[in-house]
Amino acid sequence: MEWETKLQERLNKPITFKEVVKVIYSDTYGINTPYMSTEFSAQTGTRGVSYGFSEFTLTNDQLLINTFKIVPVFLDEADLAQCKLANQMEIAERQAALINEALESAVLGGHDGWTDFDNTAIGGAAGNITVSINNIDNIIRAIKREIAENNAQSLADRNGIFIVWRAADMEILEEFCQARQALA
C-alpha cells in the first residue's frame, strides 16, 4: 500500500489550478452538485406594510463520469529489485504528476466558458492585450475593477482571482516584478 500512499500524497499536493477550482476524485459514475441557480434579493420595506418572501431555486448539476485519465505502468518486481535508477515510489509520484497535468489541461481547456478580458478592458482597441512592462499594472487594476463592477468582490475574496499568462507574457510580468522589487 506504499504505492497508493505515495500516489495520494502527490495528488493532494497544492497545485495552482486546484486553488481556483473544486477538484473531486471519485470512484462513482455520477456526482451530484446542487447549487442555488436563482438567488433572492434585498427588499425595501415600510413600517406597518407587509412584505413578501423571496424565493430561490436549487438546481442539481449532475456530472456523469464517462471518461477518465489513467497512467498504467507495468512494474515487474524483479526489474524493480535490480534497478537502481528508479523505484516504485518515484514511479507513483510521476504517475500522480501526469494525472495532475492532464487535469490542469482539462481545466484550462474550458476557458471559453470563463469571462474574457481583452484590450478594450484596459482602454485599448478591441482584441488581445499586448502585454508590456508599461501596462501590467493597468491590466491588474482593470481586472479588479471588472470584478467590482460585476458585484463579484465577495466571490473573489472567497475563491481568489487568477490570470493565465502566456509564457512570453509571464516573462514580462517577472521583469515588471523584478523592477518593482529593485525600486523598493
pLDDT tens per residue, range 74-97: 878 887 778 776 788 888 888 888
Residues 81 and 144 occupy one common structural domain: no
Residue length, the chain?
184
Q: Would you say residue 138 has pLDDT above 90? A: no
Whether residues 76 and 34 share a domain: the answer is yes
> Which range marks the domain in which residue 16 is found?
2-112
If you average pLDDT over every residue of the chain, what do you get? Answer: 83
Do residue 24 and residue 92 come from a single domain?
yes
> Does one domain contain both 100 and 125?
no
85 and 150, same structural domain? no
Number of domains forming the structure of the chain: 2
Res. 183 pLDDT band, cuts 50 70 90: confident
Mean pLDDT calculated for residue range 98-111: 85
Say yes or no: 119 and 103 in one domain: no
pLDDT at residue number 1: 66
Residue 157, judged by CB atoms within 10 A of its CB (0-12, 13-18, 19+), counts as exposed
pLDDT tier, 174 (very low <50, low <70, confident <90, very high otherwise): very high
Q: Assign residue 160 a region (left: φ > 0; alpha: ψ between -120 and 50; beta: otherwise).
A: left
Q: Are residues 108 and 120 in the same domain?
A: no
Per-residue pLDDT, 48: 92
- Identify whether residues 18 and 71 lie together within a single domain: yes
Domain boundary among 81, 112, 143: 112
On whether both 88 and 13 belong to a single domain, the answer is: yes
Whole-angstrom Cα distance, residue 75 to residue 65?
28
Taking only the tens place, the pLDDT of each residue in 49-67 is: 998 888 888 888 888 888 8
Residues 68 and 31 in one domain: yes
Percent of the chain past pLDDT 70, that is, above it, reads: 97
**Same domain, yes or no: 124 and 47:** no
For the chain, give me the number of helices (H) and strands (E)?
A: 6, 2
Are 57 and 92 found together in one domain? yes
pTM: predicted TM-score of the whole model, two decimal places:
0.61
Q: What is the DSSP code (8-state) at residue 128?
A: -
Residue after which a domain boundary falls, among 112, 136, 162? 112
The residue among 62, 93, 112 that closes a domain is: 112
Q: Mean pLDDT over residues 176-182, rounded?
A: 86
Mean pLDDT of the region 10-33: 79
